Structure 1
Amino acid sequence: MDDSAHATPLKPYAILLAMLRRARKYWPSYLLISVIVMIFSLVPVGWAEAMRRLFDATYALDKDGVGIAALWFGGLFATEVSLSILQAYLMQRLSNLTTLDLQRDVLNRLFFMRMVRYARWHTGDKLQRLNGSAVSAQEGINQKIPELVQNMLTVIFLFIYLTVLSWQLMAGALAVAVLLPLLSNLFGKRIRSLQQQTNEANAISDSSLLDQLQGAEVVRSFGLRTDFNKRWRSEVDTARRRWLHTDLLSTASGMSVFMGFIFGQIYIFSMGAWLFSQDKLAIGAIAAFILSYERLVFPLAHLSNIWVAVQDCIAHAGRVLELVTDTDEEQASAPPEQPNSIRSSLVSDSDIYMDNVSFRYGEQIVLRGFTATFRQGGMTAIVGPSGGGKSTLLKLMLGLLEPESGDVYYGAIRLDDNNWSQWRERTAYLPQDAALLDATVMENIRLGQLNATEEQVIEAAKLANAHDFITALPQGYETRLGERGLRLSGGERQRLALARAYVRNPRILLLDEPTSALDASNERLMQDALQSMMDNRTVIVVAHRLSTVRHADCILYVDNGNVLEAGTHEQLIAQNGSYAALIQSGEWADSGSAASSADSETSGNNPPDIQNALPVNLIERSTAG
């Protein structure tokens, strides 16, 4: 499935509403900020009135009037300082809380996202959205939007006040001050588009740098440092050029504000002087205009600049919401909410049944109506050529991938979003290259069971044949493993991952070629550890070595997304089909000649009844489960 084909980009207003809905649990703080914004919007009117009273009282030599004006100035100063401190605290607190909430939601969504969709974004891109775009998006909600509202209210209140003082001065000054900033607003859409392109270019350069850092061994060993650095510099230059273009347009928009202010000031002095000479305007009104004009023009003109900043934040928010918003296809495929009685019904051991499951990566079909039963308490091995869909089967069983059609059952219960978490609690998954964290050995093993005791962790390590090499490490179980566990060999990493699975004490064990990258010595240790772990558990293993599958209760030969053969090792050798050809090719030999080993096992066996391993019907399964 290709989610990108079904993703519907959100419009700017939809992004803004979605961000506001996410912040509604902090409504008391937002309400207090709104009150502060309202008061702050009236403060410039207060300063203008204080200035008018001061100049009129001074011109009239009114000492009492001067005293009253001084009280106005003192009260306004105290109010503005105290509200500024309170507003800054509330905004910063909200930014911290809401940004953390958004980042946590993004991270949780990434953990539960379908793997096909998860793979659409490079790790560097996801990190940039999580650490960069999430911060910028919440800055827009908590700082830019209140600033936008405050400026709008300031403009409205001052406009009313100054119009009452002198509509002649107000009309001309406002016309001059508004014209140029309005023209600059034409850049808004272009700036938003450039900002989006800049964000994407930054994500690409970050991803390229992350590739170099994570693939340092390959880059060095193949002499790719110069080529990689050249490509990275080119990507950084692209991001820099887009940022400069964006900054240039933003600067041009800001300069128009300054020019409007200068021409407006000239008009106020000229027109005000004429009106005063005609006894049509008091000296205090002119002083109020001069003081207030800056607080009128710049908020008015900055509305366009702030709106550009809000557009930037919306662009960042869109990148973040793309990760946390379900696609149309995910919403359509989401199962209905089930009662607790159904969600908690995975209580007993049962067979696993895949019913007519199909899956594709984009246009590449991987599984075509795959149907098979995996018996409870038995070991089922899945073999076949590369690209046949074997590893995909395990990810479908875990719910990491969503089938295009068909279902996965545990007994009579269909596995879906209502019970995947319970299902995973009874499973352990060991991939080809298990992920290890930059943490201690103890912490890495405990990932399988977070509340495991130290004794349980050590016992799991012993069962996984990992205890000896762990105790030989500098700090033993408290040794940090470095990024991705690179301080360990491949075999040691796999045995540590097996210990993690052990400590989980799973009922179902899913193994994806656990010994594929190991040498003979490490493979033997892994095989011994796996053998002890497989007892009394349902085991499904994707394998490419005869030593892994020889003793399986059932072997499924999978090619082109279907089961072509099924049976035990002896039965499939006797059948002399695709599995026997694979064994006889020599690629699967443990040691010596694989062909002779296979020939020695072909005599005296009858062809298997393939229905013993292929589907049972739902009625029989429901009765048994």
Structure 2
Amino acid sequence: MKTYFRLLSFAKPIEKYAIPYIICTLITVIFGTLNLALLAPLLQVMFKGTGDADLGPVEIGEKPGFDDLGGLLTYYADKLYYDIGPYQALQYVCIAIVISVFISNLFRYLSQRIMENLRIHTLLNLRKSVFNNVMDLHLGYFTNSRKGDIISKIASDVQVVQFSVTSTLQVAFKEPLQLIAYVVVLFALSTKLTLFSLIVIPVSAFFISKIVKKLKQQAREGQQSYSNMISYLDEALSGVKIIKAFNAVPFVKERFNGESENYSKIMRRMVRRQQMGSPVSELLGVMMVALILLYGGSLVLSGEGDLKASEFITYIAIFSQVMRPAKALTDAFSNIHNGIAAGERVLELVDERSEIVDKPNAEIIETFKDAIEFKDVCFAYGEKKILDNINLTIRKGETVALVGPSGGGKSTLVDLIPRFMDVGGGQILFDGIDLRDLTLQSLRSQIGTVNQESVLFNDTIFNNIAFAKPEASIQEVETAAKIANAHDFIIKSESGYKTNIGDRGAKLSGGQRQRICIARAVLRNPPVMLLDEATSALDTESEKLVQDSLYKLMENRTTVVIAHRLSTIQNADKIIVIDAGRIAESGSHQALISANGVYKRLIDMQQFAD
């Protein structure tokens, strides 16, 4: 129940919905019960009017109290009958029934609308909370998690929580209230018969509890299987070109379909167990009604007690409705396990905390003045050491190139500057201040990045460039595109800057995508630029255009470049050779060639490959 109440906390301010819902539900229950109770005077009038009851002179006695509901209703029926006649009495009773039904249905509609608003409000708060927390998490979390699992939790699991948990809230208030109202009326009609009939409730609860015992475990298995399917689907759609190129379509189909079959099996088992509760409770209810007919009928026929035939028929009608709220409660109890299992998975995301957070007294920086310094910096993924004792100074206005064998730690070193990850040892200073003492937003506002992979969105070219500066004008965007050598191909496209580039920029070539990314970085105009092998995946012609764009981008900026083609960084102020997590060499291009070390070997290998 702890999970249930945590999920319910997302409904705040719940009193905004709860108070009007309670009022509407109380009115619905009162008049809904009255609808059935009014059968007694209706039948009383009809029995008298058809001659099935004694029509001799009748002395109407004192009005009974509310503890004798049957007698009270009979009193009014008799009074109407003898005061205004049978047909007029029947008219009055029918009008009362219609008014009662109208009021109960009106307020039931209003209560359902209020509960639907609560459900949507809860879903909105929960989904916002989950997504906001996910976006605040550090990059390491996404490295170790499956994207499909995260998508499943935000999309599917939150939806399950919405319908099972909030629906249970509705049932948990209304149905017990309705059940109590029915039982009170039944006791008012006949205490002896009601005590006999209430045996069905604990018996029904016992059988239902046995049926739903394993539902929570099966629901959790089902949610996990569904998230696996979403992961496989995401991987299949993202990598469809490679899948076809390697003739891996049968493997991908088999993997997805296998998980789909597993999910179907779990759902079949769960639904079979879940839906067994309804017919079992209904069967128990019918059996109990049959027993009451036998026992109550014997009381009426034998004349024992004061239960009249009209009251007995009303009793049977009301008791037949007792099983409806009882059945709704058992069904809700069955469904809640599915919601709790989904809720636990959602709350896992809500409870996840980023390892990269601002200190309470973190400083805000507005400019870059001097240098970025690495002092004895170490970093490791678990037990695997990536960087070891890195000492490096990047001064304002310098272009520093990082080169070295793959896996040496170049990208990790660059990722430490905007604090995508925190150092494991040592410190990185930004103008003499430890990065961990700065706010993330102010630090990253001083830094721009262009990665090896062109990250674009399914939107227009204009919006992709203006992503770095949403308030940018068309003139600013065009200026940035011209610096990035992108303006010419943009104006030749179908709708110019309003052209939609498709999913991840699929309608553009690799070089065009990269130049859009560079234009985005130019528009932001940060003092520090990080370039991670920005031309490695391009053909020669595209590389030349992109490299020219990068040279323009690097002008008057502090730039850290991870170089794929060493010929492109020969004019760098400083070249740092990273090998096995350490700085193997550093210096200018000519100095490193003369040293005849790792850098010279890399140059020779690349020239040989070319």
TM-score interval, normalised by the smaller of the two chains: 0.7 to 0.9
- Cα displacement string for residues 122-181 of structure 1 (whole angstroms, at most 9, x for unaligned residues): 333322222221122122343221122211222233333323433332233221344134
1:301 aligns with 2:327: yes
1:208 aligns with 2:232: yes
Alignment of 1:57-456 (within 5 A): 57-59=45-47, 62=78, 64=80, 69-276=93-300, 277-280=302-305, 281-327=307-353, 330=354, 334-338=357-361, 342-416=362-436, 419-456=439-476
- Cα displacement string for residues 263-309 of structure 1 (whole angstroms, at most 9, x for unaligned residues): 11102211111222233123344233222223322322332220221
User: How high is the TM-score relative to the length of structure 1?
Assistant: 0.85
Alpha-carbon offset, residue 353 of structure 1: 3.0
Equivalent residue, structure 1, for 2:39: 51
Of the three residues 11, 24, 32, the one matched with 2:20 is: 32
- Cα displacement string for residues 449-491 of structure 1 (whole angstroms, at most 9, x for unaligned residues): 1111111111111111111222222222222111111121111
**Amino acid of the residue matched to residue 328 of structure 2?**
H
CA separation of 1:43 and 1:140: change in aligned 2, threshold 3 A: farther
Which deviates more from structure 2 when the two are superposed, residues 352-361 or residues 57-66? Answer: 57-66
CA separation of 1:203 and 1:59: change in aligned 2, threshold 3 A: same
Equivalent residue, structure 1, for 2:72: none
**Amino acid of the residue matched to residue 293 of structure 1?**
F
Which structure would you say has the larger Rg? 2
Equivalent residue, structure 2, for 1:577: 597
CA separation of 1:408 and 1:292: change in aligned 2, threshold 3 A: farther
SS of corresponding position for 1:320: helix
Equivalent residue, structure 2, for 1:6: none
Q: CA RMSD in A?
A: 2.5
- Whether the 8 Å CA contact 2:365–2:442 is kept in 1: the answer is no
- CA separation in 2, counterparts of 1:404 and 1:271? 79
Of the three residues 537, 560, 574, the one matched with 1:554 is: 574
**Amino acid of the residue matched to residue 585 of structure 2?**
E
- Whether the 8 Å CA contact 1:357–1:367 is kept in 2: the answer is yes
Alpha-carbon offset, residue 509 of structure 1: 0.7
- CA separation in 2, counterparts of 1:294 and 1:398? 68
Of the three residues 545, 560, 565, the one matched with 1:540 is: 560
**Amino acid of the residue matched to residue 35 of structure 2?**
W
- CA separation in 2, counterparts of 1:567 and 1:254? 78
- Whether the 8 Å CA contact 1:268–1:289 is kept in 2: the answer is no
1:495 aligns with 2:515: yes
- CA separation in 2, counterparts of 1:308 and 1:358? 53
User: How high is the TM-score relative to the length of structure 2?
Assistant: 0.87
- CA separation in 2, counterparts of 1:336 and 1:456? 35
Alpha-carbon offset, residue 29 of structure 1: 2.0
- CA separation in 2, counterparts of 1:110 and 1:357? 28
- Whether the 8 Å CA contact 2:28–2:105 is kept in 1: the answer is no
- Whether the 8 Å CA contact 1:148–1:307 is kept in 2: the answer is no
- Whether the 8 Å CA contact 2:368–2:527 is kept in 1: the answer is no
- Whether the 8 Å CA contact 2:365–2:438 is kept in 1: the answer is no
SS of corresponding position for 1:25: coil
Which deviates more from structure 2 when the two are superposed, residues 488-497 or residues 399-408? Answer: 399-408
SS of corresponding position for 2:352: coil
- CA separation in 2, counterparts of 1:30 and 1:547? 70
- CA separation in 1, counterparts of 2:79 and 2:424? 86
**Amino acid of the residue matched to residue 465 of structure 1?**
N
Alpha-carbon offset, residue 547 of structure 1: 2.6
- Whether the 8 Å CA contact 1:565–1:572 is kept in 2: the answer is yes
- Cα displacement string for residues 224-274 of structure 1 (whole angstroms, at most 9, x for unaligned residues): 222221222111111111110111101212221111111111022111112
- Whether the 8 Å CA contact 2:35–2:97 is kept in 1: the answer is yes
CA separation of 1:244 and 1:405: change in aligned 2, threshold 3 A: farther
**Amino acid of the residue matched to residue 504 of structure 1?**
R
Alpha-carbon offset, residue 69 of structure 1: 4.3
Percent identity for Structure 1 against Structure 2 = 27
Runs (5+) with no aligned partner, structure 2: 50-77, 82-88
Which deviates more from structure 2 when the two are superposed, residues 260-269 or residues 84-93? Answer: 84-93
- Whether the 8 Å CA contact 1:355–1:407 is kept in 2: the answer is yes
- Cα displacement string for residues 48-68 of structure 1 (whole angstroms, at most 9, x for unaligned residues): 432334334555662627566
- Whether the 8 Å CA contact 2:358–2:439 is kept in 1: the answer is no
Of the three residues 517, 525, 549, the one matched with 2:545 is: 525
Equivalent residue, structure 2, for 1:510: 530
SS of corresponding position for 1:447: helix
